[in-house]
Structures are given as structure tokens and as C-alpha cells.
A and B are shown apart, each in its own frame.
Chain A
Amino acid sequence: MAGSINLTVKIGNLIFKNPILTASGTFGYGLEYSKYLNLSKLGGIITKGLSLYEKLGNPPPRIVETPCGMLNAIGLQNIGIDAFIVEKLPKLSRFNTHIIANIYGAEVEDFVRIAEKIENEDRISAIEINVSCPNVSAGGALFGKDPDMVFVLVSSVKKVTKKPIIVKLTPNVSDIAFIAQAAQSAGADAVSLINTITGMVIDTKTKKHLLANKTGGLSGPAIYPVGVRMVYEVYEKVKIPIIGVGGIYNADIALQYIMAGATLVEIGTANFIDPSITMEILKGIEEYMENEGIKNISQLIGIAHSSK
């Protein structure tokens, strides 16, 4: 029965075997999870955010738990694009899944140079441009809050790559659809939303911030209704595929994102708690479709929009 269900989805000409991706920053460089699940069963793996050079990130404490969520201020610690290509990519290439490089820079030129380095790496299927990290002072969400900056950035990267470009948007704006439209106008092939929501926790014993960075990004089940609402809003305004992300920890929430308009979903914080959660969510989606008699997942995308 499961064989008759079609879970394939597309971004541009890129075909994904199923809509389950892992969210950047929650799946390492992929390899860390290979003993907990068969990575080849994923639609794709989105890497930890990669910068031009190695980045040490923020001082600890970097995380704190909140009700049904967590706040992080890692500060994009990563090994840099060159080390990723040499040390991680060859091992990742053993797995039959799309590798999507999440890239980050402090300036437009940084993004362009990283994209150039990736361009000839056939095993990287697509680029996710991170314009939404709330935990770094330069670049990050500053880009993502300004539609003109998003347009310039995406256009600039587009000039040096033929790979599909996904733009990961920040929810910390008043009109996320406006930013998504700017990304689309610049030639983005998809948008992913949402990244974490900026938050703060104060320790009442020490009367100080719990995170060394003072603020952090809120993720986990607490934020999924915000993500679903934003996907719904963006679906009304753009034609390119949307990737839904934020607080997905079971098939029901993944399906909510899809019904709101997401073509694919990214699983994030839930990977920390259950390293094989992606497979449970995939199975849950298949079971739902079987029970509902739905043969093709495309029938569900955006179904919550009565006018479409």
C-alpha cells in the first residue's frame, strides 16, 4: 500500500524522494546521526551553517530550556566551507540523499565567495542562504529584515551559481511575506521559514541573563503555530516553493505546515531529543495519507487555503 503513495516533491528541477529535510544547526554535518538512522531515507540534509572561515561562536552558556522550547545562542560555530568540503562532504557522499549547504556571511561578498567554492561540488544539491540567524552581530538577521538587502544578496549569489537557492527567512519581522517576495524577485528557487524567534531568559537567583549572549533564538514545539501561520501568509503571496520549519516534532505538525503551503519541511530541535525522529515523522505522514486515501503529497500542499 505504501508503495502507491507518491511523496516526491520538487524545488526547481531538483527532485526530493520525500519532503523531510533536517534543519541547519540541528543535524551537525549529517554524519553525527548516521548511527541513529539511515541518512539515505531522508529527503535531504541541510548542513550546519557554513562560513568562509572557521568560526568559534559565542561564549557559553549557550542554551537554556524553556517550556516546550529552548533558547540557543551558539553563534554559528562551524569549521568553515573549505574544511567541510575536504573533511565532511566525501563521507556524506556515501548517502543517497540531497546535501544542501546552509551558508552564512557577514557581508554579501562572503556569501558570493562561499557559493563559488560550492559551485563545482556536484554532491551539494542546493544552497540555503541564511539571512536569519539572530545570534550574530554582523550580517545574520540584519540581512533578513531588509527586503532590499535580501534582493541584493540573492541576486549576487545567483550570478555565481546554477544550483537552486533557498532563502531562510527570519520570523523577527513585521511582514515576512514582503521579505519572501523580495527573495522571489531576486530569483530564489524557494524560501524556508521560520528560523528561531528572538527571546531572553533571566535567572532570578543571579538577576542576570542566562545566556552569555543575553538573547537567543527560541525553537521547539512552542513556536510551531507561529511558523504555520507565517507559511500560510507567505503561500498567499509567492509562487516559489516554501519549506516549513519551526517546532515540528510529529507528523501532525509536519502536515499542518504542508497544508498551510509548505512543499517540504525541516525538522530541527526534535532531532536533539530523538535522533531518529525524522523517520517517525515520515512514517506518520505515510500513514496519514493511507488512511485519508491520498495518493500524492502534492494534493495536500496548501490545502488549507480554501480559495486556492
Chain B
Amino acid sequence: MRLKIVENKQIAKDVFKLRIDNPGLFEIDPGQFLMLKINDYPFPLLRRPFSIAGFGDTIDIIYKVVGEGTRILSKKSKGEFVDIVAPLGRGFSINSAKKIMLVGGGIGVAGLLYLKDVIEKQYKLPYETYFGFNFKEEVFVNDVNIATMDGSVGFKGNVVDFVADKLNKDVMVYACGPTLMLRRLAFLCFDAGCSMQVSLESRMACGIGVCLGCVILTADNRFKKVCSDGPVFDYEEIQWQAL
């Protein structure tokens, strides 16, 4: 569906927040995503998958300019249109029995912001956020527990190091970020016996389970589709060494 851009502004170094008109035609669960067509056919050809950073009067995504598609998107202005397919994929399931920790890295933090909203406003559950960035200029959230690799804001170092001693069997981690970060976090969670749901990224063409381009290897040596079996998985389903 073609929807009007309400706002598209830079919020950190190479990071933009796009807010589009919510037509009220669908609901979206935290962790679900949309596929956005940046231009008319045929370039860029494929839609781009984006996690939902906010859902209400507008549908919000936060994206980093990494290639030609996101560069073109960053030039779009209020009043222009984009075409989306949504809602897609399986989102997070919220477990109220455990201590909730949201752990994000880089642009992956965007994939946890709508979940944070829902946990706070709908479920009214206590939670903690731990968000990591490379340096101050990349930080696009105002949360308490920030880690930066260069120490320019908050904890100095990797967000995984930041949370390492806080993991135990009573903790439920919701994570989104670079693959290497998630892999390290997964191994720590295995050791600590804590639960974790992760939102994964993958190259995808269709977003609806057809092209089979986005598969990941699961613990039982089979392939699962990030777009329709995920993008949120229980961390124990995934063969982390293969990522």
C-alpha cells in the first residue's frame, strides 16, 4: 500500500527516522517488520525489510544509510509516498515471569523500541535496556544504560560485556544487533542458562516466505526462513556457528 511520509529526519550519524502515515488497516506485533519499496520500478529493484520502531498515529522505522537504497530513502521528504507490504513475520512473545532485559547493538536498537513501548505501556512490566553503539555521534536513544566502544557515552566497551555479569536463569533477554554481537550474547546466555529471543537480519527478496533467499541454519541442521519463520527466534533454535 502507498503511504504518505509524515517525517524523514536525521537523528544521528547516518541514521534517519522515517515516520509514515498509519492507515489503521492492520495491527503490528513488536518484532514484526515491513517491506518498503523505495522507488518505482525498477531501481532499486527489491523492497527493503525494516523493523518497526514505533506504531501508533504513524508507522516509524529507524534506518542507517548503508547502500544505494537507504541513500535514496534518506532524500525523501514529507508528503512523498512510499509503498509498503505489512505486517510481516513473527514477532517477540512477551514473558512476564522473568526479569526482562532488552539488549541492542547499533541500528539493531531500532528493532527493540516498539517492543519497549509495548512492554511499558500495554503490559506495564518492569524492564531494563542495554544499548550499545560505536561512539557518541551514533547514539539515537535517550536510555539510561548506554555503552559505546570508545567510551564517549556511558559504559566503555561492547554492550555484551556490559550485560555479561547480569545474565542468569531468571532473565529473559530480547536482542537485536550485529550477528557477531548476537552470537557472543547467545553463548553467554547458554552458559548462564538464561532465555533469549533474537531478531535476525538477512538478505531477502520477497519477505513473505516464497523466495527462500533469507534462510538460516537451525540447530537440527535444517533451514528456517528469517522472513516468515522469524525474524524473531528463540536463540536455542539457531546454529550460531553457521551465522
Contact = CB atoms under 8 A, between A and B. Distances in A.
Contacts of B206: 271-273, 275
Nearest to A78: B212
B45 A68 contact: yes
Given A33-B210, A57-B212, A63 B45 contact: no
B217 A59 contact: yes
A33 B210 CA distance: 9
Interface residues of B, number: 27
Contacts of A36: 208
B211 A63 contact: yes
A109 B24 CA distance: 54
A71 B46 CA distance: 11
Contact of B213 (A27, A62, A275): A62
A273 to B, nearest CB: 6
Nearest to B208: A32
Contacts of B217: 59-60
B203 interface: yes
Contacts of A70: 45-46, 205
B223 interface: yes
Contacts of A221: 41-42, 45
A72 interface: yes
B56 interface: no
A269 B202 CA distance: 18
A6 interface: no
Interface in B58-108: 85
B42 A68 contact: yes
Nearest to B228: A32
Given A68-B43, A77-B215, A221-B42, A60 B210 contact: no
B132 to A, nearest CB: 22
A249 B217 CA distance: 32
A202 to B, nearest CB: 16
Contacts of A69: 45
Contacts of A250: 41
Given A32-B210, A272-B211, A275-B85, A61 B45 contact: no
A26 interface: yes
A220 B208 contact: no
A204 to B, nearest CB: 13
B37 interface: yes
B209 A63 contact: no
A60 B202 contact: yes
Nearest to B46: A65
A258 interface: no
A27 B41 contact: no
B147 to A, nearest CB: 25
Contacts of A25: 211
A56 B223 contact: yes
Given A272-B205, A273-B37, A28 B45 contact: no
B216 interface: yes
Nearest to A63: B213
Given A60-B203, A60-B213, A65-B205, 8 more contacts: A36-B208, A59-B217, A60-B202, A62-B214, A69-B45, A269-B45, A272-B205, A273-B41
23 contacts: A27-B210, A56-B223, A59-B242, A60-B202, A60-B223, A61-B203, A62-B214, A63-B205, A63-B211, A65-B44, A65-B46, A65-B203, A69-B45, A74-B213, A269-B45, A269-B205, A270-B41, A271-B206, A272-B46, A272-B47, A272-B205, A273-B46, A274-B37
Sort A-B residue pairs by CB-CB distance and give the 6 closest, nearest first. A63-B213, A272-B206, A221-B42, A28-B210, A272-B205, A68-B42
